[in-house]
Homo-oligomer: A and B are copies of this chain.
Amino acid sequence: MGTDAANVRAAAALLDNLAAAGVREVCISPGSRSAPLALIAGSHPGLQHYVITDERDAAFFALGIAKRAGRPAAVLCTSGTAAANFAPAVAEASLGRVPLIVMTADRPTELRDAGAAQTIRQPGLFASHVCWSVDAAVPEESWPLERYFGTLACRAVAAARRCRAPVHINVPFREPLWSDAALERVPRGKISGPRVDYSHAATGIDDATVRRLASRLLACERGLLVCGPGTADENDLDAFVDLARALGWPLLLDPLSGMRFGALHAADGASVVVDAYDVLLRSETFAAAHRPDLVLRFGAPLTSKVLVRFLADQSAASQIAAWPGGMWADPDFVVSDVIECDPMPLVTALGADLLGSGAPKASTSAARARRSQPKDEARSWLESWADGQTAVRASLSRSVLGAGQAFEGAIASTIVDSLPEGSTLFVGNSLPVRAVDTFAAATDRRIRVLANRGANGIDGVTATALGAASVSDAPFVLFTGDLSFLHDVGALQIAHRHRLSLTIVIANNDGGGIFSFLQRPAKAGLFEELFATPHGIELGRAVEMCGGRHRAVSVFSDLASTLASALRDGGLQVVEIATDRERTVRLHQECVDLALADADRALGKPR
């Protein structure tokens, strides 16, 4: 099977999930390019279809359904001016606040703007009259089609409902478009629920949602609480720790979760917090032995690629994400449920339900029984994570500083250890933030950690840190690389002009260190010129030009004291420490290997 099968599978995943998410009617204007979708929709047990020749009327007809029935209706047409005929009804739906799922078939990417017939510029065709628009990937059998198209459908319905507006899914199909054989192979309408179950909490998290979720969590021994960037802040920590304790689950804290640094300040924080996942899960043995049945996810995309990959592999687990409306932080499409809400109200409500505060609830006694008499398996799940965590952190703490050599991991760990309660650490992309994740352990001192992780750029890092420092009274450190620093060197003028206090720690590896961890071309020269980009520039001059003080740390063990002096002096302070790209890779690997061996020993020990 080839493209025909891929097209039909994509269409089935899309339409199955529209139906499962609550769409009941599809209005179809006939055409050739849209055949995979039309053929599935026309014989789907969960969908009523209306064939309407004129696309303008098909869209208005769908609008009428949605208006009267109060649920999104779908409309489908082929490529070309057909799609443009949807525009009047889309505008009316947008301004009239009516949810519509607008599907347009399209030529595949390579045939656009190339003289192909019936090919107009469809992506973005409805401009701001749709609240979400996606130009879907061209279906091919080389990637997980069903997850992607199923998720698209669920997200589209959720967006249309949330915004009470039309959404546009432009679906390109490559030829051969379909075949009877492909159609026969695709089971339709057999799914019992949507690919992603959206619980709408636009007007607050209702009791029923909380009760249902609490029951699901309680029923599950092998669970994980995973907090990504921006989940919460220091004041919210206790609620998360209480929830983790009540469930007997580890609490994985991204360095940007807002809670890792300060986590040990919480009563019982140490018993549930896991921050060593980035090392632990590199062990195939550990990962295989610690597959969760349920993951409750919060926050933006995770910093740790290791953790991301681990979660991507847990396709059998229920993965429930509590995300504010419109957030999507799962490029692997493994999330199975989304509760559209802010994290804190949900965690507070779950805690109240599980821990029995507030009105008596069905699950309260179970939660209580569980807290007072933890089952053996529950203990071993959490304890096993905790033992691994302890072993890795002890090992890293010995090896990283024991080596006495400057590399990004050691610098990250030293900076975090040096920062006083209440300070802020801004971390650059990409090596610094990863180094903090892997090497900086949870603290009892509350340290706010910020980074530009929306688009992960190395541009504007210094300016952003200066802005953040301008509204902070406490010590403020930016940990960044030389490439990022040079890219934004002009930003130092801001500190000069506005007399701002910022201490910058630069790990100077004379180029882009992150690339040494990634795939390299065989020709070393190419790698150096195009990726590593060594520059040989002295950074101190720029600092001095802007009235700052520059200090170079030549012996790693001096870093802590130099940083302390810089923080004491205030103003613009730059502490530069040289690292070596190759050495960083080697030391990083050695420390991780040692930690994994120590963890294996610890976990192998009889308890």
Contacts and interface: CB of A to CB of B under 8 A. Distances in A.
Contacts of A448: 68
B63 A464 contact: yes
Given A91-B454, A455-B96, A472 B68 contact: yes
Contacts of A460: 56-57, 59-60, 63, 88-89, 92
Contacts of A202: 202
A235 B111 CA distance: 52
A525 B454 CA distance: 61
Nearest to A490: B54
Nearest to A27: B467
B96 A454 contact: yes
Given A326-B163, A491-B60, A494-B50, A95 B455 contact: yes
Interface in A76-135: 88-89, 91-98
Interface string A49-79: 0111110111111111111110001000000
Counting every copy of the chain, the complex holds 2
Interface in A455-499: 455, 457, 459-472, 488, 490-491, 493-494, 497-498
A68 B450 contact: yes
A494 B52 contact: yes
A14 interface: no
Interface residues of A, number: 76
A534 interface: no
Interface in A314-351: 324, 326-327, 341-342, 345
Contact of A450 (B57, B67, B164, B426): B67
A519 interface: no
B300 A97 contact: yes
A203 interface: yes
A139 interface: no
Contact of A470 (B50, B203, B204, B324): B50
A453 interface: yes
Nearest to A127: B124
A324 B65 contact: no
B491 A57 contact: yes
Nearest to A448: B68
Given A454-B91, A455-B91, A468 B67 contact: yes
Given A53-B493, A491-B54, A94 B64 contact: no
B97 A490 contact: no
Contacts of A60: 452, 459-461, 463-464, 467, 488, 491
Given A64-B465, A92-B457, 10 more contacts: A27-B467, A51-B497, A64-B464, A64-B468, A65-B471, A89-B464, A95-B455, A97-B300, A163-B326, A204-B204
Interface of A: 25, 27, 50-54, 56-69, 73, 88-89, 91-98, 163-164, 202-205, 230, 300, 324, 326-327, 341-342, 345, 424, 426, 448, 450, 452-455, 457, 459-472, 488, 490-491, 493-494, 497-498
19 contacts: A27-B467, A52-B494, A56-B463, A60-B459, A60-B464, A60-B467, A60-B491, A64-B469, A65-B468, A68-B448, A93-B454, A96-B230, A96-B453, A96-B454, A97-B300, A163-B326, A202-B202, A203-B342, A204-B204
The 3 residue pairs across chains A and B that have the minimum distance between CB atoms: A64-B467, A96-B454, A204-B204
